[in-house]
Structure 1
Amino acid sequence: MSSTDNTTGTTADAPAGGGLPGFEDVRAAARRIAPVVRRTPLWRVPGTPVLLKREDLQKSGSFKLRGVTNAFAVAEPSRVVTASSGNHGKAVAMLARARRIPATVVMTAQSAPEKVERIRELGARVRFVEGGVAERNRLAESLAAEQGATLVPSSDHADVIAGQGTAGLEIAAAAPGVEAVYVPVGGGGLLAGMCLAKRAWAMPGAPDRAPVVVGVEPASAPRYALSVATGRPVTVPPSASVADGLRGQAPGRVALPLVAAGADRLTVVDDEEIVRAMALLWSHGVVAEPSSAAAVAAALRAEHTRDVVVVLTGGNISRARFDALLETAGRTRDTAAVLAAA
């Protein structure tokens, strides 16, 4: 696998009418979301320097609740529309139900059935679209305009990015001396937020040196790595990967400048590496969906002199799919007990 050092800028523009978020926006988001979002723990993978930021233990089962909670707090919507591969849609559906407002989630026909069902159980309407992420996002924008609803993007939005960055503030407080932070890259909002949060390591009492921030993409969809390397946004063809949450085709217009300025390295992993990482975590009682395991795989293959943190972004995966993927790694034992406890 290859990696790209971040030494090239980008000419991507922020959306019309909006600006890029900053470190103070992340700190403001932390105050807004505190009553709703859990402060998740760090957990060491035994025998390794890897500490997992356990966002799979978040109320919605993923880190997405951070950005959604901040976006809802700022916009105070009366109706919402979003596009999602699953975890973001679940977080939107949870908050919409709590606020008793209508929610529509646009998903592709290839979305994981268990995620679709959970979103429906939470009361949101699911609309399917043929095609990929680009078609899904266009339909969500169209529906929001038709319904007069607030569009809550899954990643490429200043308030969402600021909310995702709050995970970085927690890492800085709990593990100030870590060597690196590894982040899986789907839409890029979490990585962009982590880049903003790096300033937390420069606050009074913190170490002089911030950790290296590493973004991890599937080998089939390295749109951020290519975009940063070329200095311009690069769109990749629709791709197949076990990491369904990381299969975006284009970098975000808000996220890309932040990633280009703040990420220290971008690297890719293949499906075999992802499934091996899932199997290792499972052997220690942790159920990780493939998108989470991608960053674990990248951290485990690198050499480190100090501890590193991997943001374990979510654990929303069905028993059947989890078993099927682990069987490909030669793990055929019953996982029911692990999944029941997760």
Structure 2
Amino acid sequence: MADNGRAKRLKSSQDGDLSRLDSDLITQVASFVGTSRELLDLALTCKSFGWEQPGSALNWSLAEEVARQAVCSARHDIEGVCITLPQYARGRTTWLSILHESEDPLKFDVLLGRGIEHENSRRNAVRMTRRGMLGVGTAIASNYVMETGIHYAEYLVSHYSVIGVVRPMPNLDPARFSNETFSFFRRKYYDEFLAARTDGWGDSNVHVCQYCTFSGKMDWTNWDAIDEEGLADWEGMEDCETGETIGMLLNLDEGTLTVYKNNRRLGVMQVGLSGSYCWHATCYWYINNDFDGSSVTIRRGEPPGA
């Protein structure tokens, strides 16, 4: 009943003067709408909330102000994760769009290498195209940095792809690698990776750790060509086919990376992880009867049995 009362009061303002906006009204709107979709619906159906308010102190609509305050108050923070969002609303970027992004922040926002591209507008899926023929491309969820605690992600994979965690490297320039084959195991890039180090990396020498879908093996490196480990067997390893789901549980309290296949726990793939990491995926363009490029989709989830 309380929600219905608020709805009636908000609707009754449709043709009213909102030039005297105050924090109480904004707080009331924020408490009534729970998501960016609901706020957008309100803006579309009620012109006083969706139109700019030239007579007020705002340079945008009430809906935009509610969205701005929700973003700035970090309402959608995820424990142990540093999420990077646009700092300003400009051009086609609105506060509503920033709020929407904050509600589903896990996406591949950085693409490295020739031929890799997003599959959808959410940017949580990538694939290799014919432009990257016989090449390798890598995607990083660089705006989603896991610093402490326990984190779980699921990957919908192709048979020939690689997934895992990598150190955040915010100063790495994607344009530098746009016409090259790219992976975190190309030795000629090691110095560039190490030069991009941040204070958040910590003391662990596990800078990349990944699972290979085509073999089930684990690969990791500290970006030291002299002391490189390379592909290795691990207890519980299994390969997987296109369309299967691989879950990864990064536990930064215990320093472990655990792998699940189709909701079945395979085991701990790596230990000794600490500091900050991002999720990543590497795709390939390879020949399998015909030219065929691999693809990967990522999403947040809860570990099986949690």
Report the TM range for the smaller structure's normalisation. Answer: under 0.3
Decide which structure has greater strand share: 2
Q: Which gives a bigger RCO, structure 1 or 2 (Cα 8 Å, sep 6+)?
A: 1
Larger-gyration structure (1/2): 2
TM-score normalized by structure 2?
A: 0.25
- Give the TM-score normalised by the residue count of structure 1: 0.23
